[in-house]
Amino acid sequence: QQQVKQSPQSLIVQKGGISIINCAYENTAFDYFPWYQQFPGKGPALLIAIRPDVSEKKEGRFTISFNKSAKQFSLHIMDSQPGDSATYFCAASRGGGSARQLTFGSGTQLTVLP
């Protein structure tokens, strides 16, 4: 019930290509779906987040697509750049306020080739 399943585990994309990472969840009580980016030696940093009342959110080259009925959401990175090479985690939480308890996916290691 608390799991968030993420795929693929690793992804290699050419510079300028589109990177797509998928996540699926089971708990319908989740109401907040963030994506975090983590570089080696650093903590995760929030990239973009979405709530289930919208189907898509775009910020620059990053877009979240959300399918509530399928309980799936995905991250699209357009015009991927070598600087985007990092590990990406999807997550989900419920409860509101500051008592957020994130359930993370297993992570996707993205490599963008120059």
* Region from 12-20, 56-64, 71-79, 95-103 binding other proteins, contact rule CB under 8 A: 95-103
104 lines the binding site for other proteins (CB under 8 A): yes
Task: Provide, rounded to whole angstroms, the least separation between the CB of residue 93 and other proteins.
Answer: 6
Query: Is 84 within 8 Å of 113 (Cβ atoms)?
Result: no
**17, 20, 24, 32: which one binds other proteins (CB under 8 A):** 32
**30, 66, 88, 89: which one binds other proteins (CB under 8 A):** 89
Q: Are strands 45-50 and 86-92 parallel, antiparallel or unpaired?
A: unpaired
How many Å apart are CA 79 and CA 18, to the nearest integer? 6
Chain positions contacting other proteins, by CB under 8 A: 32, 34, 36, 41-46, 49, 89, 91, 93, 97-107
